Each structure stands twice: as structure tokens, then as C-alpha cells.
Chains A and B, each alone.
Chain A
Amino acid sequence: MKYSNLHKNVFLFFSSFLCCFSLYSQEITIEGTVVDENGPLPGVNIVVKGTSNGTITDFDGNFEIIADAQGTLVVSAIGFVTQEIPISGERNINISMVTDMETLSEVVVTALGISREKRSLGYATQELDGENVDRANRGNVTNAISGKIAGVQVRRNTTLGGSSNVIIRGNTSLTGDNQPLYVIDGVPVDNSNYSSGNNSYDYGNAASDINPDDIESMNVLKGAAATALYGSRAANGAIIITTKSGAGTKGIGVTINSGVTWGTIDRSTFPKFQQEYGGGYGRVNGPEGNSYFNMQDMDGDGELDLVTPFTQYGGFGAAYDPDLLVYQWSSVYPQSPNYRQPTPWIAPEYGPIEMFQDPLTFSNTVSLSGNTKGGTYRLSYSKFTQEGIVPNSNLDRNNFSLNSSFDLSEKLKASASANYSITDVQGRTEGGVGGAYTAIMTNLRQYWQPNIDFRELRELYESTEENLSQFPGGTIDNPFYVFDQNRQSDTRNRFIGNGSLEYSLLEWLSIVGRASIDTYTFLQEERQNTLIRIPSHYNRRDIFFQEVNYDLMLNYNKDLSDRFNISGVFGTNIRRTNFRSIYNSTNGGLIVEGLYAISNSLGIPPAAQEAERNIGVDGYYGLVSLGYDNMLYLDVTGRNDSSSTLPSGENSFFYPSIATSFIFSNLIDSDVLSFGKLRLNYAEVGNSAPALSLMDVLQKPTPFGSTQLYSVNNTKNNPALKPENTTSLEAGLETSFFGRRLGLNLSVYQTNTENQIMPVVISPTTGYSRRFVNAGEVQNQGVEIQLTASPIVTENFKWNTTVNWATNSSEIISLYEGVENLQLYATGSHNVTLNARVGQPYGVWYGSDFQYSNGQRIVNQITGVYEKSASSDQIIGKMLPDWNGGIDNTFIYSNFRFGFLIDFQKGGDIFSSDMAVGSRNGLYENTTGLNELGNPVRSPIENGGGILLEGVAPDGSPNTVRTSMMSRNHALGHPTAPDAMFIYDASYVKLREVILSYNLPSSLLSSTFFAGAEFSLIGSNLWIIHKNVPYADPEAGLISGNVQGHHQGVYPATRDLGFNVRLQF
């Protein structure tokens, strides 16, 4: 039996301590200097081997250490080869460090799967290793980047399997896709979002099929120069994913990675409903119209009884009073224990939070990898199962993957990878207001009665399985009925694979042929048992997607002289994308209840809606990279695309890029500066139109009986579209100091996207709502900073920290001729819209604003409410943040590893329909409590109730007019208050990730058949340290895409705590 390292260290620590006393005679003081080729080296670690006794060299490279005369010094510094120097009784030791070429020539995977030395790149990339991807982010791989990569903004939806929105360096396209391109092992993979709108289910983004456990590394290519070889589709940046392979495995390696995660609702992201007043619209009921309650003789005693106004959604009913006995909602149902029973008028013991469950997530991966003669392979199977926070919702994903490569001959190498995934989800929740105002969370946050007890609601549903509504006679369904009986489900079967052959023609020249495919079928089924507003219903959408890429590349890499090197690629890419879908639905109910099939439609089902879109792009490209003396690099690329989606004869376009890097540290002799590089690049990227945007087609409404209808499409297409064009200019500085203990990576950039192809909203007086045009220019400018530091490095303890920070500011330079504003989104029941306005950043909220006098809000001196601007086109907020970033810390002590990530965002605005309407209906605490006079705000003004809004009279004098809070149309709710009242700053600081892991020491494992064992405790989203939007996660949204920051029935976020075991054999 051997001691664990921990035990050994503790033992050694004490023993060395004891040595000072008992074995003093053997200790000597050693002095010395550490140098590298440029001179003295500060910050070098010197540790006496086998002890925790260590020191660090000073600015002149000098050190002093007490050690056993027969001991050994371990000398290490980042970027240098670690050395062990026997002391052998020497009291003066000078050490010469050797540059570790492996770390300096760090290789990264760039566009088209080309591996490049990082130092030679003239553009910014930032890498994330697999360790960082697969621990805490198993649901959706895109979330792994959050806070870890400067200049990337990730916004995740809080629903099960919901989509994540990833924006790199700002929104460049006004109305098009702004998401980056995802590439796995050279295969571009689809990341479509299939939500049919904000009022439906969020079907997630397709990149979530990627299994985080299979990822070796993710490299984020940020600018157009980095992605120039991919052309148009990577104009928003690219995320290059390399999967794990068998390379480097000795023999056969088996890894088992198992985790379980327990989620709990983060209560700060869920409303605190007021606990003082029950349901109703105020004193409008009863025979005289002056009672909070309906009055009916319920027990037949001839006297009128109090009855909750069942169909009034809101919390302006009577104040709770346990002495009041009221016939409440459940008293009308014979199935309820309270049938025909009045119950005390009190706040419910179990509020809406009772609706949720604590979701469990299980994740298991088994992988087998290895090397055989001339080949490597990795085989893995992964199962991921996640529960949602509402009943009957879960996500199940199975991934099978194979990655292999073999040398067929000395010159010919074949490699292939295949990944098959099956993702099944059921019970996604409806977003927005739902298909027919049926979305539960919207009803709960905006239209509810505070007196409803959720335990009672659940029990009544569970005992009857009927839609016994908490609003008898109303239009809102029992949420437990909806969760249980409305089984949305979807399943996606996906294959991603490629095969390639590489043949070395010459030592410096090889040819690669590669065929790759990404294809899936996606079945979405929505089932609805009879709801109050709609009869039972079934619809299905069958989607088929396929993208095939053929690449032929000639790679070359030749040293022209001792100092000159030329390398690069010439290639061609053929891409064919095929999308087909068909949508069918029932009409007017189902014949046999519970049978969800189109043929079971009560009415004649509407005609199926079919779609087919094919895209073809043929591209030719070249990269010439010149290197001089490992110091100066120049990349020139050019690509020509012919696209099927542009007019014939004008569908070919060329775009170039040029990037340089200069490693100036090679010229500077400095102790402080370890590495220094300047980058500069310029790139142009062309982009073609979406499929089918040239020709007009007709809309096909449901026939009117036997009369056929056609109508002109609301969008006017344009047969004369030209490619759009993005130009980007980027400069950067990469430096590291003190033996690479401190690093700074800085980028500044400007991107202009012109001639945007977009469906501009035009006045309907033109006969159309939108028109496809080439117009508009958006400019994005930004700064990204990445700071890395290793403040403490000893043999046993390391502290690494990375700070990412980025700011991006966008400006709409121009829009369509004569048009100053482009509406991106309308929120629906409010006059609040999201817009791109000339001279403003992308995405400004329009709505009614307060009126101001000398910066003070003006209060109407008759009604006491805030004066609103006359028009709704006031800018009341902006969607995008000012800056965001993250601080990632890792502490390694012996075999323990502790890390935490804090990420943050400053600025950005949310418009909350939930707060606007929920406040209106008196559901929250802002409509209750006592006013500054100490009286209930709900009391009549004449009794000292109401509130006095902070603000001024139109003449500038302080406001003295109180306003009533007795009914739904009050000063703090929509639509009486200006829309600006419901704009919230989306800033946040979150403790995103905390990880504590322990690796069993190899000494302990050597006698077992384990090659490695790691245990981790992982916390995700544990704490929203700071936020401004009440009752919701500022990141919550409707779906991914260009429209973010509208809160309409958003689900609460969860705090996730997980335990993970990774075993290697």
C-alpha cells in the first residue's frame, strides 16, 4: 500500500519542518542565476524535488534556496523545458533555460481543418480545450463558450432543450443569420433554429446534437480574415470543433465518464407574487357592482354568499381575511373536497413555484480508443438524459461516434469519422403567449389570481385527469392538465460524417480529397387535448436536411531557404444543401379523443404545406502563406464562389483577404517580455441570398369551401439581387511577460457589412409588408482583451486565471433608400418594437417614453400618472450590451483542482411584457404594501391610499397628486404607464461554473487496472450575483436569433449541481 500524494506531501511537509531542527547540518543555502538565450529570467520556479520548499527568481534572475546538499532542484517556467538539477553539494548554481518549442509552436486548427502554428496567424483565434467543454455544459455545447472567449456573447434560453444564441463580434447582418458556422472535423454542420415563431415551442438549435464528451478542442475564429477560406457562410465567425481521436493512446484505452446533475429553481428568476390580495378586478361585482366578490346563494339558505370572481384574471380582489368564507374556484367541482364548501380567504400555502420539479440530468459516455499499426481509432457511445422543470418533460440524446485514420501506404492516408445521434424530446413548453394564449408561463406571470393554491390544483388534476380550470368559465386551462395532456414531442436522427484521403505527392506537397455529409430527419409533433379555447389538435412537421461537401485541396509547405518558408493550400469546394419539409394538421378537433393522427381529424384537414429549398455553391480558393525567419508572416487568401441563389450570370463573386503577423519579441532583448506579436489583417467576404428570394410565389390560403383562393405574397422578392459584402479590418497584439507568467492578447476590429440582402419592412400601402433588397450598411467596432496570468506556480500548487473582456458597438450607417428605420420585431400586444435605426446601434427598443422636464419625469396633475410621449417611436432602450466578459480561475493543488468562472455583461435592455401586464393585473408586490403615509396603497385616495409618483408637475414643481392603485388600469402597469417603465437593464454578474475535482494519484492506481480516475463536483449557474430585471433571468429569451431581450412568459433558470466520475482503463 502506498500513500496518496496528499498524504505524502503532508508527511514531507512535516518531515522537512522537523529537518530544520534535527537534521540542520545537512542543509545548505544555494544561490544562483537563471538565464535564457536573452539573459536573466525572472519568475522561474525553483523547487526542491520531493518537497514543497520552493522559490521564484527575482527580476535579475537570481534566487536563493535552502536545500539538502544531496537533493535535486526542479526548475520550471512556462514556455521552457523543465529541468532537474542535482545539487551535489554545490552552493552556487547557474541555470540556463531552454525554450520549449512545443509550447511556442502551439498548433491550432484553422479554417478548412488546416493546422497552423498559432504564432504565424495574422488574426485572432481563441481555443478552448475539451476539459473546458464537457464538464458543466452537457446540454448544449454552445453554452460552453460563455464567458470563456473574449468577444463572444452567448445567451441561452431557460426552457428544456431551448436554443442558445451565439454572437461573435456583434450582429453584422440586419435581418439574416448572425450565428457562427459550426465545423466538426472539417464538416460544416447545420445549426438551424426550427422554432416557428415566438409564440410556439423552442425546438433548440441543431448544434446541440454535438456530444460535448467527444470534443477534443474548440477553436473560435472570430473575424472575417480567420474564416476567409470558408467564405460567406462563416462571415459571423466560426467555431471549429476537433473531436477526440485515438492518437496518443497507448494500447487500448477505455474511458467511462458518468455524471448526474441536480437542478433547482433559482427563485430570483421567478416572480414573488403578492400575498395580500386575492383574485378579481376590484369592486365591480355583486348586485350593486360594488363588491370584490360575486354574490350568489350557493348553499340554498336564501342568503347571498361570497364567490370568487372566477373569470377575472388579476389580483385586485379583496384583501385576505381568514374570517371571510368564500366559495372559491374548487368549490364548483364535485370532484373537489371543497365542493360547495366555502373556504377561508387567505393567501395560498403553496404558490406557483410548486408547479416545478427539480430536474435530474444523467450523462454517461463510454469510449474506446487506441493505436494499431499505422492507424488510430476512437469509438464512443454517449447517453444524455435530462428532465425539464415542468412535469412530463425530458430530453434524451444518444450519440455514437467513430473516428479513425489509417495509413494505407507510406504516402496515402485515409481517415473517416462518423457520428450518429438520436435526440428525443418531449414536453417542450410553449413560449410567448402560446398558440392561442395557452402558454402557461405567460398566463401565470401576466394573468392569474394570487389566491389559487397549486397543491390543490395539482391534486385535483391528478385525481381526475380532467381540465378542471382554476378559472371556472374562464379561458385559462389547468396547467397540470396542459403539461400532462399536451404532449409535444420531437425526434431528430442525424448523421455527420466524412471520409478523406491524403496523398503525399512530394515531401512538401500533398493532395487531400474529402467528402462529408451532415444529414438529419426531424419530426416535430404537437398534440393538444381539448383546451378551453381550442378543440383537440394534432400537427406534425417532417423535416429533411442534407448538406454534402466535396473538397479537393492541394497542400504545400516548403522551405525556400533557411529563412523563407512558403505554405498554403489551393482547393475547390462543392456544396449542395437540400431542405424539405411537410406540415400537416388536423382541423376542428379529433374524432377519437387521444388518437393523435392526421386521419383522425374531425374536419377535413387543411392541405399539407410543403417546402423545398436547394442551395448549391461552387467555390475555388487559395491560401499563400509566407514566413520569414519564424518572425514575419504574410497570408493572402482569395475565394471565388458561384451561388445558386443569385441571378444567373451574376452569381459569381470573388473576395480576398490579407493577414500579417510580426513577432517583434524576436528583435527585442528583454527580461520582461517573453513573447510579442503584432497582427494586422484585412478581409472581404461576399455573401449570397437566401434560397428562393429572387422569384415571387403566391400564398395559398385554405380554400373557401369549394372556392380556391390564392393571394399575393406579403414579401416582394427581387430578381436583381447582388451579393452582399463584408469588409473587416483587425489589428492585434499578443504578448507574454515574465517567462509567460502573464499574457495579454488584444484585438481591435471594424467590420462593415454593405449591400445587405434583406426583406425590409415597407409600408403596407405598397401592397406588401416586406421587400427583398440589397441595401443598408452596418458597422461593428470592438475591442477584445484576454489576460492570462499564473500568479502562483509551485510544484504542488498552481493558480491560473484568465480574464476575457470585450466590447462591441454597432451602428446602422444606412438602410433602404429613404428609409430611416427597419423594424426587426413587434412585441405583439404592446406598441413596443425592436428596430434598426440609422445612426443608432443595432436593435433599439421603440415605445412610449416618459415625458421629462429638466430630467424629471412629468406627472399628470389630474390623474397622478406619468405623462406618456404622444408617439410610440421613442427610443427607450437598446438590445445589445455595452460589454461582456468572464473571469476564469483554476487552482491546482496536488491532485485537487478547483476552478470557478464568473461571467458578466454590462448593459443591454430587456422589454418585459411579463412585468408590464403582470403589474397591471396586480400580481406582484409593486401594487401592494403601504405607501409613504403608512396606509395601504390599495386604499382609496380619500382614505390616504394610492401612491405618489416621483416626478414633477409640468411646471417643474414637485408632484403632489396621488394616483389610485385600486384597479387594473393603474400608474404602474401597461398600458397606463409609458412602455419605458418596463425596460430593464440586462446587466448581470453570474457565478457560472464552479468545479472541484480530484484525480486519484497514479501511484495509487498503479496496482489497479485503472489508468486514471477523476471525481468532480460541478456547479453551474449557482448564483446570479447581480441583475436588474426582477423575477427573471436576464439571459432568458424566446428563441435564438436576432431578436433577444423580450420577456414574455419566460421560464425560471435552474441552479445545477453535479457529480461526475471519469475512469480510464
Chain B
Amino acid sequence: MKNKLVKTILILILGIFSSCTSDDLTSLNRDTKNATVADARTFFSYAQKALADNMHGVAYRATGPGVTKMWVQHITAVTYLEGATYIPEFSWAPLYRDVLKNLDESASIISQTETSNDSEDTNKLAMIEILKVYTYAALVEAYGDIPYSEALDFNNATPQFDDAQVVYLDLIDRLTTAISILDTGSAGFGAADLIYNGDIENWVKFGNSLKLRMGLRIIDALPEAGAKAVSEAVPNVITTNGENAVFEYLVDYPNTNPWWSFLVRQRLEYYVGTNTFIEKLNKFNDPRRAVFFTPVEGEFVGAEYGVVQNYHSYSREGEWLRKPDLAAIFIDKAQVEFLLAEAAERGIGGVTDPEAHYNVAIRASFEYYGIEDQVDEYLAQPSVDYSTAEGPWQKKIGIQKWIALFDQGFEAWTEYRRLGYPQLSAPEVAESDIVPLRFLYPIGEQTLNEANYQEAAAAIGGDSYSTRLFWDVD
């Protein structure tokens, strides 16, 4: 009896062991809750949002493009001056990892998938290419030399940095190709395209407008290449505000505009308009000031840039900027028309009549903010009128563009660096004596990719704020 019990127990134990060992062990290591594959569209949509979030994000610290809203002195922080005084904490991870990598992933899925509609795929690839060019161009404009030919390859943890000029010219070539293969007779990403909802004609215009911008950006350094790009682009640029390349946020968090999260959701009282900017708006009686800012006791009052001040004494962001679904602008009609005005002044691309383009640009800006009824009066002022406004064309265009590019800090900062207007100076206590001419390389690269970082820093003339990038000819 007892022996029987023992035997039964032993058999039971051995039974457990034999049943456990028979299954294939590695089959346990399966992620049953996360996807391994997804449609190419989902990555494209994500990349668009990530691009909008990063280029138009809000950052009181100098972590990325968001900080340029302060650097160009539209607004200033009144308490936490890290970003305003240029303390560097840059990261390009959002652009490389979140934007470019996902665009890459989308493209590689499209290329690897056999579909019945080749021209639709071609369109998708071209759209991806345009956004890649947009992103890489911003990186070059911000940093100078960047990892490019060896980037986005996890097998190479230490990609070399490529020469900024070489990269930029390659980007223009890639853009030209992408525009040329867009087929307006076919579909693209459809509703997954959060910028144009799949409208290919608008993508052609976005591509050309971007090319126009890139052509003029290098015009001083590389006149021929710049003029060629401008000439090719001019016939097919954005002509109405309806064609603007914008990313429209939604009213529900977390798909809201980053400004809203910051200013309204978190109620952070960090920013006010600067005296530099608001005094200029006041001088022009610019009705857009009531869109951009709220008055303090009936007046629009700006604060000194980059010093600790009392938030409530100054004009802060207006209701327009406090909408959860405020759109982020990649490029708009106003900027395109200012670029055309400049092309006309320079006599390139067959563009003429700078004043007409200048006026159309300002009209476009007013129209965008829904105050086009006040634009005639505005333009009629001698200080605004192109023929009577102060200074050389660089200044006339520069100042008005600076105003029109409100809330597009990165473009405003880049055009400020290129045109030299408005004239801005650094605050007294800051990490740089001048308004920075570039971003410093992200701190991580100093340790993660040290040798290439050192080489790149040397190649551009030092990893400092005062290093002029190749297109920024003094």
C-alpha cells in the first residue's frame, strides 16, 4: 500500500517534468501584445506629426527648434531664462529618430510591398522624399555638417558627419527628382496624409515652394545653384493660403498643438511678447498684434528680452495661439511671396516686381489671420509701403517677413540670420555675445560619436554659436 503511494507520487513528479520539457521553449518568447508590422501609411502619418511637434514645439530650454521662437525675439521667457539666454541642451533625436526613421520605414515598406498600383506608390515615395528633404534641410540650417550619408543605419553607431554644402545640394537634387515623379493623376497617402489629405497637386506646390526657399537660402554662397533652383521652382509654387503646407492639430489632447498644452492645459506663465517685437508692431499699427498678443490695460507692452520680469506686466499670447487645434505651418503663401519679392530684387528666376510680391505676401498674412479688411490701410502707411519703407530691400522684406513669420520661429530665425534684419542683440547675461548663428551639436554626440563629432566641429570652424554656416554669407 505504502509502496504504491510512493510509486504514484514519483510517477506524477516525472510526469510533470516530461510534459514541461516537451514544448518548444523559444516559442514562449513571443510578444503577443505588440505589432511587428504595420501599414506604411501609419509611419508616414506619425512622422508628419512628429515633424510638426518638433519644429513648432514650445521649449523654454534650448532643446530644439522650439526655442527659436524666443531667439528671434518675438517672445521672451520672464522666469526660466535657460533657452532665452542660449544655455545649450540640444537634441536632434526627434528629427532623426521620430521623423526621418519613420519616413524611412514607410518608404521601405512601400518599396518591399508588391502592389497593383505603381504610380500610387511612386507618389507616396515622392511625398516621403519631400518631407525628408524638408527635415534634413532644417538640420543643416540649424547645425551645419550633419550625419547624412551614413545616418539611419543601426549597424553604424558612429556615422560620419557630411559637409553641409554637399548635403544641401544633394537635398535640392533629391527634391527636384521627387517633384518630377509626382503624378497628379494618381492617388497618394489619402487621408493618412495629415498635411494635404492626399492632394498631389498641393504636394507639387509644397515641393516647389520648399525648393524656392532652399534656392534662395544658398543664393549668396552658391549663386548659380541657388538661381537654378529658384528658376525651376517659381512656376509652380503655393499661390493661395488654401495651399499652405500646414499641420492641423485636433481639439482633443494629446493631439493638440504643443502651445495649447503648455499655455492652457498646464497654465504655464512663462512667455510674453518682447519690446523689440511689440514696439515694431505698435509703430506700424499692425492689427496682427491683437491676434498675437493680449493687451495690458489697453496697451500692447513688450518685455525686455532675456531678463527676469513680472509676467503680468506684459502682453502675453493672444487667443489665436491658445486654440488647441492651432495649425503648425511648414511653409505658407506669405513666405513664398516674400521669397518671390526677393527673387525679383535679385533678378533671378524670371521674377519681377518685388513690390507686388511684397504686398501679396502681407495680404496673405492678413488673410491667414482673418483680418484682410485691414490690410489696405496697413499697406498704405509710408513705413510699410514698399517704395517708402526704410532701408534696403533686405530690411524692408526682412522686417515684414519677421512679423509674418510669427509663430514660425525656426524660419524667422533662419531668415534673420540670412538677411540680417531685424537687427537683434543678445541679452546681457547669456551664453553667447550675439544671437546664435546655429545650434550647438547635441551633448550626446560628444560622447556617443566623439571622433566624428570632433571632426565635424573642426570642419565647420568650431562647435560654437558664432560659427557662420556656409550659406550665411556675411
A residues in contact (CB < 8 Å) with B: 281-282, 284-285, 289, 294, 309, 311-313, 408-409, 411-412, 436, 473-475, 501, 503, 511, 513, 515, 532-535, 550, 552, 572, 574, 576, 587-588, 603-604, 610-612, 614-616, 618, 642-648, 651, 691-692, 694-698, 700-702, 704-712, 714, 716, 760-769, 771, 816-821, 823, 829, 831, 835, 846, 871-873, 967-969, 975
Give the CA-CA distance A501 to B45 in the complex, in Å: 60
B285 at interface (Cβ–Cβ under 8 A)?
Answer: no
Chain B residue with Cβ nearest A515: B16
B residues in contact (CB < 8 Å) with A: 2, 5-6, 9-10, 13-14, 16-17, 20-21, 23-39, 41-43, 45-46, 49-50, 61, 79, 81-82, 87, 89, 91-93, 96-98, 100-102, 104-105, 146-147, 151-154, 156-159, 191-192, 194, 250, 252-255, 265-269, 307-313, 429, 442-450
A532-B267, A766-B157, A818-B157 known; A698 and B38 CB under 8 Å?
yes
Question: When the two chains form the complex, which single residue of B13, B191, B448 contacts A763, counting CB atoms closer than 8 Å?
Answer: B448
A475-B266, A764-B444, A835-B447 known; A698 and B34 CB under 8 Å?
yes
Give the CA-CA distance A873 to B29 in the complex, in Å: 38
Q: Is the CB of B308 within 8 A of A282?
A: yes
Given A612-B33, A644-B28, 15 new contacts (CB under 8 A): A281-B79, A312-B79, A475-B269, A534-B266, A550-B16, A552-B13, A574-B21, A576-B20, A691-B29, A701-B46, A764-B92, A766-B151, A769-B97, A823-B444, A831-B443
Chain A residues, Cβ within 8 Å of B26: 644, 646-648, 651
Q: Is the CB of B448 within 8 A of A700?
A: no
Chain B residues, Cβ within 8 Å of A817: 157
A474-B269, A614-B29 known; A819 and B255 CB under 8 Å?
no
Q: Is the CB of B265 within 8 A of A533?
A: yes
Question: When the two chains form the complex, which single residue of B13, B17, B157 contacts A501, counting CB atoms closer than 8 Å?
Answer: B13
Q: Shortest beta-carbon distance, B16 to chain A, in Å?
A: 5
Q: Shortest beta-carbon distance, A836 to chain B, in Å?
A: 11
Q: Is the CB of A767 within 8 A of B97?
A: yes
Pick the most buried of A697, A707, A764: most chain B CB atoms within 10 A of its CB.
A764
Q: Is the CB of A645 within 8 A of B29?
A: yes
Question: When the two chains form the complex, which single residue of B39, B255, B265 contacts A534, counting CB atoms closer than 8 Å?
Answer: B265
Chain B residues, Cβ within 8 Å of A412: 2, 5-6, 9
Chain B residues, Cβ within 8 Å of A823: 444, 447-448
Chain B residues, Cβ within 8 Å of A614: 28-30
Give the CA-CA distance A294 to B313 in the complex, in Å: 10
Q: Shortest beta-carbon distance, B314 to chain A, in Å?
A: 10
A475-B266, A612-B32 known; A771 and B154 CB under 8 Å?
yes
Chain A residues, Cβ within 8 Å of B255: 702, 704-705
Q: Is the CB of B253 within 8 A of A766?
A: no
Q: Is the CB of A764 within 8 A of B34?
A: no
Q: Is the CB of A513 within 8 A of B46?
A: no
Q: Is the CB of A698 within 8 A of B152?
A: no
Q: Is the CB of B45 within 8 A of A475?
A: no
Chain B residues, Cβ within 8 Å of A763: 147, 157-159, 444-445, 448-449
Can you list 15 contacts pairing A with B, beta carbon distance less than 8 Å? A411-B6, A474-B269, A534-B266, A616-B23, A647-B26, A707-B194, A708-B39, A708-B41, A710-B43, A711-B43, A767-B96, A818-B158, A823-B448, A873-B443, A873-B446
Q: Shortest beta-carbon distance, B367 to chain A, in Å?
A: 27
A614-B29, A763-B449 known; A700 and B34 CB under 8 Å?
yes
Give the CA-CA distance A540 to B255 in the complex, in Å: 22
Give the CA-CA distance A714 to B50 in the complex, in Å: 14
Q: Is the CB of A707 within 8 A of B45?
A: yes
9 cross-chain pairs, A with B, having the tightest CB-CB distances, nearest first: A767-B101, A764-B93, A697-B34, A513-B13, A710-B42, A710-B38, A765-B147, A644-B28, A648-B26
Q: Shortest beta-carbon distance, A384 to chain B, in Å?
A: 36
A312-B79, A969-B81 known; A872 and B449 CB under 8 Å?
no
A550-B17, A550-B20, A698-B35 known; A704 and B444 CB under 8 Å?
no
Q: Is the CB of B29 within 8 A of A771?
A: no
Give the CA-CA distance A874 to B108 in the complex, in Å: 40
Chain B residues, Cβ within 8 Å of A968: 308
Q: Is the CB of A695 within 8 A of B31?
A: yes
Pick the most buried of B16, B33, B89, B309: most chain A CB atoms within 10 A of its CB.
B33
Q: Is the CB of A643 within 8 A of B25?
A: yes
A587-B253, A697-B34, A823-B444 known; A829 and B93 CB under 8 Å?
no
A763-B445, A831-B443 known; A281 and B308 CB under 8 Å?
yes
Chain B residue with Cβ nearest A650: B26
Q: Is the CB of B313 within 8 A of A289?
A: yes
A552-B13, A642-B25 known; A708 and B449 CB under 8 Å?
no
Q: Is the CB of B309 within 8 A of A289?
A: yes
Give the CA-CA distance A603 to B253 in the complex, in Å: 8
Chain A residues, Cβ within 8 Å of B43: 710-712
Q: Shortest beta-carbon distance, A514 to chain B, in Å?
A: 9
Chain A residues, Cβ within 8 Å of B265: 533-535
A475-B267, A501-B9, A764-B97 known; A697 and B31 CB under 8 Å?
yes
Chain B residue with Cβ nearest A615: B28
Q: Is the CB of B101 within 8 A of A712?
A: yes
Chain B residues, Cβ within 8 Å of A821: 447-448, 450
Chain B residues, Cβ within 8 Å of A700: 34-35
Give the CA-CA distance A768 to B96 in the complex, in Å: 8
Chain B residues, Cβ within 8 Å of A820: 447, 450
Q: Is the CB of B447 within 8 A of A708?
A: no
Q: Shortest beta-carbon distance, B233 to chain A, in Å?
A: 29
Chain A residue with Cβ nearest B105: A712
Chain B residue with Cβ nearest A573: B17
Q: Shortest beta-carbon distance, A621 to chain B, in Å?
A: 14
Chain B residues, Cβ within 8 Å of A618: 20-21, 25
Q: Is the CB of A704 within 8 A of B45?
A: yes
Q: Is the CB of A698 within 8 A of B36?
A: yes
A645-B29, A696-B36, A763-B158 known; A309 and B310 CB under 8 Å?
yes
Chain A residues, Cβ within 8 Å of B42: 708-711
Q: Shortest beta-carbon distance, B90 to chain A, in Å?
A: 10
Q: Is the CB of B311 within 8 A of A311?
A: yes
Q: Shortest beta-carbon distance, B83 to chain A, in Å?
A: 11
Chain A residue with Cβ nearest B442: A764
Question: When the two chains form the complex, which single residue of B91, B105, B157 contacts A762, counting CB atoms closer than 8 Å?
Answer: B157
Give the CA-CA distance A511 to B11 in the complex, in Å: 13
Pick the most buried of A614, A646, A716: most chain B CB atoms within 10 A of its CB.
A614
Chain B residues, Cβ within 8 Å of A766: 96, 151-154, 156-157, 159
Chain A residues, Cβ within 8 Å of B100: 767
Chain B residue with Cβ nearest A608: B33
Give the CA-CA distance A84 to B24 in the complex, in Å: 67
Give the CA-CA distance A270 to B436 in the complex, in Å: 41
Q: Shortest beta-carbon distance, B204 to chain A, in Å?
A: 23
Give the CA-CA distance A474 to B21 in the complex, in Å: 62
Q: Shortest beta-carbon distance, A804 to chain B, in Å?
A: 37
Q: Is the CB of B21 within 8 A of A694?
A: no
Chain B residue with Cβ nearest A706: B191
Q: Is the CB of A692 within 8 A of B38?
A: no
Question: When the two chains form the complex, which single residue of B20, B46, B89, B96 contacts A709, counting CB atoms closer than 8 Å?
Answer: B46
Chain A residues, Cβ within 8 Å of B13: 501, 513, 552
Q: Shortest beta-carbon distance, A125 to chain B, in Å?
A: 30
Give the CA-CA distance A532 to B269 in the complex, in Å: 12
Give the CA-CA distance A473 to B9 in the complex, in Å: 73
Q: Is the CB of A762 within 8 A of B29?
A: no
Q: Shortest beta-carbon distance, B392 to chain A, in Å?
A: 36
Question: When the two chains form the complex, which single residue of B49, B97, B250, B308 contacts A768, counting CB atoms closer than 8 Å?
Answer: B97
Q: Shortest beta-carbon distance, A552 to chain B, in Å?
A: 6
Chain B residues, Cβ within 8 Å of A816: 157
Chain B residue with Cβ nearest A701: B46
Pick the most buried of A552, A603, A645, A701: most chain B CB atoms within 10 A of its CB.
A701
Q: Is the CB of A610 within 8 A of B33?
A: yes
Chain A residues, Cβ within 8 Å of B309: 284, 289
Q: Is the CB of B443 within 8 A of A408?
A: no
